Structure 1
Amino acid sequence: MDHFAGLDISVKETSVCIVDDTGGIVREVKVASEPGALLEVLTNPTYHFKRIGLEAGPLSQWLFSALAEASLPVICVETRHMRAVLKAQINKTDRNDARGIAQMMRAGLYRPVHVKTLRSQKLRMLLTHRKLLQSKAIAIENDLRATLRNFGLKMGVVGTVKFEVRIKELVADLPDLAVLVEPLLIVRRVLREQIGILHRRLLAIVRDDEVCRRLMTIPGVGPVVALTYRVTVDVPARFRNSKAVGAVFGLTPPPKHQSGESDRTGGISRCGDEMMRMMLYEAAQIMLVRSAKWSWLKAWAMKIARHRGMKKAIVALARRLAVIMHRIWVDGTEFRWTREVAAA
């Protein structure tokens, strides 16, 4: 007899529900959210598991890896899809959620999520930490600009390097303000130093990565965009074709909504990885606005911009960049600047 299990994971404890192929509950238990505690329950030889489901979340990657290493048929389920199915339950409890997940596994009503490799998880941490420090440094700089403006002290246009010097020039004759400004300048200085350390580490990784170097042959795609794409896609073979990448990044229209006289199609879905989507926007904007060198891809996007506006052209170009980058990765090629070369 086949068995199916549902795991409702929280930070401290996990509710486990095991059902048989008829839907009958075989066992329910609550254990610590640790690999050892879960394996003690799930590796019982009396159970023949066909599918074990858990929801994507903060602990899911860690627990998924441990269960997969034990040769258990574990599946990580997409959060929004699982929430929509479980919402039909009247009472929401950890126990009921585990029951619902187990029944989803038995019926096959689930949408699996790719769990990234350990290397991609670590590189993703590098990218997120770099982005976090950048946002904090920018927040401090904006706050200093705004508060000094209240006293008639205008920063003007000044770069990152000369920012601190300019601040000290403005408050040089105002010692009471200088005392208040100094702590923020110290914190900003440390943040900028650490951002530099993380960025140099990022550049070293990209320099030694053959895939990233090929992705960077595309105009507008720099080291950060290339590494973000590398980490987000992780395993290119998980996509049935290159065109499927745009939907995963939320760059394709949502399903058409038609009911009676209502018939509408919205904008892009904005589902999936937000960081990757923003990186593709940035690369598309750089290609259209800053890049001086012409290519067939830029010509294609500019044609859209003339007919439908620059904003839609950037979204369309971002989606096509995602497709091209996947194709370059899979084929082991580089970006081709003309249609003739691409067709050769």
Structure 2
Amino acid sequence: MDVHRDFAQLAVVEDGQLSDAGQIACRPEGLRAWAETLRPDDEVALEATGNTEAIVALIKPRVARVVVSNPMKTRAIAEAKVKTDKVDARILAQLLAADFLPPVWLPDDRTRALRRIIARRTHLVRQRTRLKNQVHAILARNLMPRPPVSDLFGDRGRRWLARQDLPEDEHRLVGALLRQLDFHGDELAEVDLDLARAALGDPVVRRLMTVPGIDSVIAVSILAAVGDFSRFASADKLVCYFGLNPQVRQSGGQVASHGRITKAGRAQARGMVEAAWVASRTPGPLRAFYQRIKSRRGLQIAIVATARKMTALCWHLIANQQDYAFARPSLVAFKERKLELRAGAPRTIAKRGKGYDYNNKELRRHEREIVEQQERAYAVLAAHWEPHGPAPAGPRDHRQRAESAG
């Protein structure tokens, strides 16, 4: 099936013979009627696109197998010199008959719902950023000073905005932008509520939150992108899926060249880079790793390397069913309590519940000292991994070289 928005072009391979099978409408009634004509031992192939999941849900119960192909890896179609709907459908049918299609993993209903919520949240965050940038642009073009408050869009910041000497039309534009910002903020709160309820009680989310820098939102984003961690045989496979591995080009006897990260997979999964920024400022072995890479390769490469290491760490935690060994218990409890409150749990006043220990400065200082000691231990251990170069040659070595040269 070469799928489009309104129709799908069909091609069939049967008994080694390739033939066109016309078109069908991409509507539920048309797809159901066509699925009734299929046999239980038939196999169907189509490329991943916007309406693929709905089509698969209608066809899958009627056939033996449905293969959703990765369009980026179907090079026979992507690089075809003659590219029409019929040609694409024929190539898909032939690759399916030869069992040579690179399939993509089909998520379950819960994972699909989480992906939709995460995508909606990402869109809302980008819209809010765009609106805030427009307000700052208005101030800049009217030669206004920098805001004296840390949050321009809080109560104090808005009062400061209202006192600025701006043209009347600019004042109205700022008011309109602030109203849109409030609307998107309310929508974002609703989305965060849905995410918190989905994450509450999930053992994978709770385990990922033991890693510094990973809060409930990033943990749910990772869970939505991965779905089932067991489908990755190693941590390197998960790193490649997140697109955090460098591009490699090598041919013949030439030395392999490494480029930028591939950025394959779901973009939301690379929120791990944001978590790496937090981990680089948090005491612990991850900060020591970041500082070691930064001293040799620079800040940007160090952040990406830290995100890659955190991704591998997440795979090992889930595969081994273990929490992060260097987690700070009071901080993890504080994260869990924030997640409960975001999910709508009632607030407790004057009661020592989960997360209360984080308010104890002495306990926080004690836990910080422990992880700082672990950070120093990691730095000492990693120092022995650094290459030291060959040992200086002694008199005996010079004599042996002279004899061999003679």
Q: TM-score, normalised by structure 2?
A: 0.74
Q: Answer whether contact 1:35 1:67 (CA < 8 A) is retained.
A: no
Q: If you compute each CA radius of gyration, which structure gives the higher value, 1 or 2?
A: 2
Q: Counterpart in 1 of 2:311?
A: 322
* 1:188 matched to 2:177: no
RMSD over aligned Cα, in angstroms?
A: 2.4
| Distance (Å, rounded) in 2 between the aligned partners of 1:231 and 1:131 | 13
| Distance (Å, rounded) in 1 between the aligned partners of 2:134 and 2:108 | 39
Cα distance change on mapping 1:118 and 1:46 into 2, 3 Å: closer
* 1:97 matched to 2:91: no
Cα distance change on mapping 1:270 and 1:319 into 2, 3 Å: same
* 1:301 matched to 2:294: no
Q: Answer whether contact 2:279 2:287 (CA < 8 A) is retained.
A: yes
Q: Counterpart in 2 of 1:25?
A: 18
Unaligned runs of 5+ in 1: 1-6
Q: Answer whether contact 2:48 2:70 (CA < 8 A) is retained.
A: yes
* 1:335 matched to 2:324: yes
Give, in angstroms, the shift of residue 194 of structure 1.
1.7
Give, in angstroms, the shift of residue 148 of structure 1.
2.7
Look up the SS of the partner of 1:80 in the other structure. coil
Q: Answer whether contact 1:21 1:106 (CA < 8 A) is retained.
A: no
Q: Counterpart in 2 of 1:109?
A: 100
Q: Counterpart in 2 of 1:200?
A: 193
Q: Answer whether contact 2:280 2:286 (CA < 8 A) is retained.
A: no
Q: Counterpart in 2 of 1:80?
A: 72
Q: Counterpart in 2 of 1:266?
A: 259
Q: Answer whether contact 2:225 2:268 (CA < 8 A) is retained.
A: no
Q: Counterpart in 1 of 2:341?
A: none
Cα distance change on mapping 1:88 and 1:170 into 2, 3 Å: closer
* 1:140 matched to 2:131: yes
Q: Answer whether contact 2:45 2:68 (CA < 8 A) is retained.
A: yes
Cα distance change on mapping 1:334 and 1:33 into 2, 3 Å: same
Q: Counterpart in 1 of 2:225?
A: 232
Identity of aligned residues (%): 22
Q: TM-score, normalised by structure 1?
A: 0.86
* 1:66 matched to 2:58: yes
Q: Counterpart in 2 of 1:4?
A: none
Which of 7, 27, 31 is residue 13 of structure 1 equivalent to? 7
| Distance (Å, rounded) in 2 between the aligned partners of 1:314 and 1:123 | 27
* 1:165 matched to 2:159: yes
Paired AA for residue 286 in structure 1 = V
Look up the SS of the partner of 1:30 in the other structure. strand
| Distance (Å, rounded) in 2 between the aligned partners of 1:16 and 1:302 | 55
Paired AA for residue 17 in structure 1 = A
- Partner deviation per Cα, 1:223-256 (whole Å, 9 max, x = no partner): 1110000000001121122321001111112243
| Distance (Å, rounded) in 2 between the aligned partners of 1:195 and 1:47 | 45
Paired AA for residue 120 in structure 1 = T
| Distance (Å, rounded) in 1 between the aligned partners of 2:175 and 2:274 | 34
Look up the SS of the partner of 2:46 in the other structure. strand
- Partner deviation per Cα, 1:148-171 (whole Å, 9 max, x = no partner): 322222342531423433321225
